[in-house]
C-alpha cells in the first residue's frame, strides 16, 4: 500500500522525498520510479526512521500492526521521535490500521515531543492506492491540521477524505468498515458458491444481485467468484490484493474494540473466527481475502 501511495505523491507533487522501508527491494523500486520520472534528485533513502525524521517536517507511515507503529515512532535509538529531536510542529501521519489505544498513545507522546500526529487509515485496497482514489479516515486534533494535511497530501492519494474527529477516530471508522467488509465478503462468497453449485451461471447471478437488494461492494466491485469480474484477485488465482491474514488482523481489532466497549458483534466475531482459520492454512495465508470463496467451495461436499 505504501509504495503506490508514495508513487502518487511523487508524480503529483514533485516534492523532495526521504524514504525508508525494511524491505530493501521496495525502496529500490521507488528510486527506479523516480529515475524514470526524471526526479531522482528528489529522492533519497534513509537508513533508519530516525534519519527520515531528521530531514523531514512531514512524515507518512504505513505499517502492518500496532507493535510496528510503536517501534517506528518510539524506539529511543532509531525511532521517528528520536530523529525529530525537539523540533516543533513536525506533522506525523500514520496510515496504518491498528488498535485505537496504540494510535492515541503514540499521538500523545508525539504531542509531548512537540509534534502533531494524525491517524489516517485508508480504504480502497491496492487498486485504490494505485488509482489515487483511496478513502482516508482521519483523526486529527484540530480541523486546521486536518485541512492542511488534506490539501497538501491526501488529495494526491485519495478521493474521499473524511475528518472523523479526534485522534484515534480514524481507526474507529476503519475497523468498523473492515468488519462490515469481512462479513459482506463471506456473505458474497457463500451466496455465489450456493448459486453456482445449484447450476446458476455466476455472471448472471452476480448481475441479478447487483441490480437487487443484495448488492454490495463485495459483489459488484470485488466479486470473489473467478471469472465474474476482470482485474480482481478472484480472476488471477487470488494473488495480490488484501491478504486473508490482514483481514483476520482487522477483524481481531474490531472484536477486541467491541469487547472493550461492551458492544455486541455477533457476525463480526464469527467472521473473525472464519478468517482466522483460513489465514492459518498455507494455501490461503498469502491469498487475497476474497479467496474465502475458494475455501468455501473446497470445504463443500463434492
Contact 168, 104 (CB under 8 A): yes
DSSP conformation class of 234: G
Angstrom distance (rounded) from CA 226 to CA 238: 9
CB atoms within 10 A of CB 211: 10
SS3 for 119? strand
Per-residue burial over 178-195, b = 16 or more CB atoms within 10 Å of its CB, e = otherwise:
bbbbbbbbbbbbebbbeb
Distance from the first to the final alpha carbon of the chain: 38
> Scanning the structure block, which residue is given the C-alpha cell 488529495?
155
Angstrom distance (rounded) from CA 193 to CA 213: 18
Could you tell me which of 160, 153, 170 has the C-alpha nearest to residue 8?
153
Active-site hit among 38, 77, 174, 262? 174
Q: Cell numbers of 84, please?
A: 525529530
Q: Determine if residue 168 is left, alpha or beta; phi over 0 gives left, psi from -120 to 50 gives alpha, anything else beta.
A: left
Residue 174: active-site member: yes
Active site residues: 174
Amino acid at each position: 500500500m505504501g509504495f503506490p501511495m508514495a508513487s502518487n505523491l511523487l508524480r503529483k507533487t514533485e516534492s523532495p522525498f526521504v524514504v525508508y522501508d525494511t524491505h530493501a527491494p521496495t525502496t529500490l523500486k521507488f528510486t527506479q520510479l523516480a529515475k524514470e520520472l526524471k526526479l531522482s534528485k528528489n529522492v533519497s533513502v534513509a537508513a533508519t526512521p530516525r534519519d527520515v525524521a531528521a530531514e523531514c517536517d512531514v512524515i507518512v507511515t504505513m505499517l502492518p500492526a500496532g507493535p510496528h507503529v510503536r517501534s517506528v515512532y518510539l524506539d529511543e535509538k532509531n525511532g521517528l521521535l528520536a530523529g525529530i529531536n525537539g523540533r516543533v510542529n513536525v506533522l506525523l501521519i500514520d496510515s496504518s490500521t491498528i488498535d485505537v489505544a496504540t494510535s492515541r498513545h503514540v499521538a500523545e507522546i508525539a504531542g509531548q515531543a512537540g509534534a502533531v500526529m494524525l491517524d489516517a487509515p485508508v480504504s480502497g485496497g491496492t487498486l485504490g492506492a494505485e488509482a489515487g482514489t483511496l478513502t482516508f479516515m482521519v483523526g486529527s486534533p484540530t480541523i486546521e491540521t486536518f485541512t492542511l494535511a488534506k490539501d497538501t497530501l491526501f488529495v494526491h492519494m485519495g478521493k474521499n477524505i473524511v475528518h472523523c474527529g479526534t485522534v484515534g477516530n480514524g481507526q474507529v471508522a476503519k475497523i468498523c468498515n473492515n468488519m462490515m467488509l469481512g462479513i459482506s465478503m463471506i456473505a458474497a462468497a457463500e451466496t455465489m458458491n450456493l448459486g453456482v453449485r445449484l447450476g446458476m451461471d455466476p455472471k448472471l447471478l452476480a448481475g441479478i444481485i447487483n441490480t437487487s437488494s443484495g448488492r454490495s461492494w463485495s459483489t459488484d466491485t470485488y466479486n470473489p467468484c473467478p471469472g465474474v469480474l476482470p482485474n480482481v484477485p478472484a480472476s488471477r488465482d487470488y494473488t495480490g490484493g488484501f491478504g486473508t491474514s490482514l483481514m483476520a488482523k482487522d477483524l481481531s481489532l474490531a472484536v477486541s474494540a467491541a469487547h472493550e466497549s461492551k458492544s455486541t458483534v455477533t457476525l463480526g466475531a464469527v467472521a473473525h473466527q472464519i478468517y482466522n482459520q483460513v489465514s492459518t492454512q498455507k494455501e490461503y495465508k498469502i491469498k487475497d481475502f476474497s479467496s474465502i470463496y475458494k475455501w468455501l467451495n473446497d470445504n463443500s461436499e463434492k
